[in-house]
Amino acid sequence: MNSLRCDEAAWLLHERINRTAVPYPDDTTVNELFEIVAARQPDAPAVIDGDETCSYHALNAFADALAARLEDAGARPGDVVALTLPHGLAQIVALLAILKAGAAYLPLDAAWPAHRQAQLLAQTGCRYVMCAEMPPRGSAFETCEILIVSLDLLRVCSADLDTTRIGSRARATADSIAYFNFTSGSTGKPKGVPIVHRSIARLVFGAYYARLDRTSRVLQMAPITFDAATFEIWGPLLNGGVCVIYDESFVRASRLRGLIERHHINLMFLTTALFNALVDEAPATLANVATILTGGEAHSMRHMSEALRYYGPGRIVSVYGPTESTTFATWYPVREIRSDETMLPIGFPIQNTRIYVVDEGALCKSGQTGEICIAGPGLTPGYLGLSEFNRERFVEYELGERRERLYHSGDTGYLREDGVLVFQGRKDEQVKINGFRIELGEIAFHLDCHAGIRRSCVTVHDDGIEKRLVAFVVAKDANCHAECIRAELAEVLPAYMVPAQIHLCDDLPISPNGKIDRQHLKKRLE
């Protein structure tokens, strides 16, 4: 058992910020929690998708019917079911149905390369896939049982459902895996992050960061491969609110404003990049939203200052959290921008979550920089099949008279005297761009596997408006071209991980300590 050293001041500071325990249903599954709401308010609207409004009763019936089809196909509690359904009501029905069958859902993007899809299916042992149409020959799903899902089919199946089988359905528990998210991995292989039912309940009940109840009308914009969707879907649906689908592939300010005003959206999450773009180009879009959550990467102080002037204090809430802690770990209501602040704080731990700042085996005092560590029921059980990595990142410590399992996030920061946590950066080569967490090493791994590349380096260029991935490549011969490299990367990596620019170089500059001089490379972009 490890122990963390601390002096009295550091201990009292951490104890003060970590008094976050509130009651929540920690012994109930997500689908059971939804069923409780559906029984209490069957006729209330649950999901709005375009012109269609689906009540809690109808959503429950659709999900029961699809769960029955899934069970008939052979799925059992503990199985994994992938889905590539488009954004919309049918997708939410599928998530709920998978949980009702006692299985876990694996979100996949239909646009991802088949190689990556196959990796994720193999890592999770997934044998079932829900699709809107039959996948083409040569897809990653050829060895899987395919279930075609459409709203028309769900209506027919729910009408014919034998309701006597629902009560005898095998159930998961609060400790069962509800879903998997995958994050970028430095070895070239994505890391699987399982999230259990209890962790979702911890996120959406007794929330500090926003009001979640029957009055909540939440806009669902994030793809389900992005963990913000966990909040956007289960936040309203487990509290009796309304989940409103953003029904276009690309975000347009005019369309977004129309949905907000038409459906009286009062709570939404925006990635930092989208938040900045709206503040710059169309701030009136968010004028009627009571609570604007934003996060995913460090905030621009200029944009936050402008937003604060436009929307007023307390309406913007900065949220922070790695996938491993189930979407959000801290929150910070933006009421003012202090004159001495160069970075926006990430604030305080959310409900039933604890934060520790650790440096060299000791809790940090106020003002002392250390690694941000997270504890509480939001933590994943650990990465799939990475026992050595789990021992390094998830460590059990003695803290006073209790034991805490801490996730070492790799992020660094410090606590102010008032207990506010300030983010400072990363310990490794991991970056966040548009909310997606990316290991630069994973991109470099695939570049170095390219037959025409001798050496490579991947970095991030930030011009103050947007961040983008940039690769510098030393080619083996003149036949190696940037567009060919991009095309090959696109076959193994999702689009958000393919560098926006690839520069062919004669060499990579080396610093006096023998490492690639990234600062010198970045100057080539200026």
CATH of the domain at 508: 3.30.300.30
- Domain boundary residue among 386, 402, 428? 428
pLDDT at 211: 96
Residue 408's beta-bridge partner residues? 373
Nearest Cα to Cα of residue 85 among 256, 235, 225, 220:
225
Pair (449, 421) in one structural domain: no
Of 127, 95, 106, the C-alpha closest to 179 is 106
CA dist 229 and 235 (Å) reads 9
Same domain, 449 and 476: yes
Q: Are 129 and 201 in contact (CB under 8 A)?
A: no
Asked whether residue 395 is assigned to any structural domain, the reply reads yes
Domain presence at residue 412: yes
Q: What is the pLDDT of residue 488?
A: 87
pLDDT tens profile 104-138 = 999 999 888 898 999 999 999 999 999 999 988 87
What CA–CA distance (Å, rounded) separates 162 from 439? 48
- CATH number for the domain including 402? 2.30.38.10
Contact between residue 350 and residue 333 where contact means Cβ atoms under 8 Å apart: no
What does the mean pLDDT of the chain come to? 89
The number of residues making up the chain comes to: 526
Distance CA 202, CA 383 (A): 20
* 267 part of a folded domain: no
According to the model, what pLDDT value does residue 513 have?
Answer: 44
Residue with tokens 């990142």: 393
Residues 447 and 467 in one domain: yes
> Between β-strands 267-271 and 316-320, what pairing exists: parallel, antiparallel or unpaired?
unpaired
Query: What SS3 state is found at 90?
Result: helix
pLDDT attached to residue 161: 74
| 214 assigned to some structural domain | no
Count how many domains the chain has. 2
Q: What is the pLDDT of residue 170?
A: 66
* Last residue of one domain, picked from the residues 402, 428, 454: 428
Asked whether the beta carbons of 194 and 380 are under 8 A apart, the reply is yes
DSSP 124-143: HT--EEEESSPPPTT-TTTT
3-state secondary structure of 525: coil
Place of tokens 């998961």: 172
How many Cβ atoms are within 10 Å of 392's Cβ, its own excluded? Answer: 10
Task: Determine the structural domain holding residue 517 and report its residue range.
Answer: 437-523
**What separation in angstroms does the CA of 328 have from each of 158, 180, 181, 351, 478?**
35, 16, 14, 10, 47
Which tokens in the block code for residue 168? Answer: 């005898």
Neighbours of 155 (CB within 10 A): 13
For 311-341, what is each residue's pLDDT tens digit? 999 899 999 999 999 999 999 999 998 877 7
Among 381, 400, 428, the domain boundary falls at 428
Cβ 332 vs Cβ 355: under 8 Å? no
Do 482 and 415 fall into the same domain?
no
Strand partners, 413: 370, 423
Distance of CA 468 to the CA centre of its chain: 19
Sheet holding 242-245, edge to edge: 52-55, 45-49, 242-245, 217-220, 267-271, 291-295, 316-320, 330-333, 348-349
End-to-end distance of the chain based on CA atoms, in angstroms? 50
| Enclosing H/E stretch for 519 | helix 518-523
Regarding whether 421 and 399 lie in a shared domain, the answer is yes
Residues 382 and 455 in one domain: no
Same domain membership, residue 448 and residue 506: yes
In a domain, residue 104? The reply is no
Report if residue 41 sits inside a domain. Answer: no
Distance CA 318, CA 332 (A): 5
**What pLDDT is stored for residue 512 in this prediction?**
47
Is 165 within the bounds of a domain?
no
373 SS3 class: strand
Q: Nearest-CA neighbor of 185 among 451, 444, 522? A: 444
Residues of the chain short of pLDDT 50, as ranges, are: 512-514
Residue 49: what are its φ and ψ, rounded to 5°? -130, 100
Examine residue 496 and state whether it is found in any structural domain, yes or no: yes
pLDDT in tens, 365-403: 999 989 999 999 999 999 999 999 999 999 999 887 789
**Residues 40-66 as b or e (16 or more Cβ within 10 Å = b):** eeeeebbbbbeeeebbbebbbbbbbbb
Give the residue carrying structure tokens 């409780």: 36
CA dihedral 306, 309, 311, 317 (to 10 degrees): 70
State how far the Cα of 244 lies from the Cα of 59, in Å rounded to an integer: 14
Same-domain status, 414 and 467: no
Residue 473's pLDDT is 86
pLDDT for 514: 46
- Distance between CA atoms of 510 and 455, rounded to whole angstroms? 12
Which residues, including other chains, have CB under 8 Å from residue 246's CB and lie 6 or more apart? Answer: 87, 219, 220, 221, 255, 256, 259
| Residue at 54: amino acid letter | C
Residues 518 and 443 in one domain: yes
Same domain? 421 vs 443: no
Write phi, then psi, for 278 (nearest 5 degrees).
Answer: -70, -40
Same domain, 488 and 447: yes
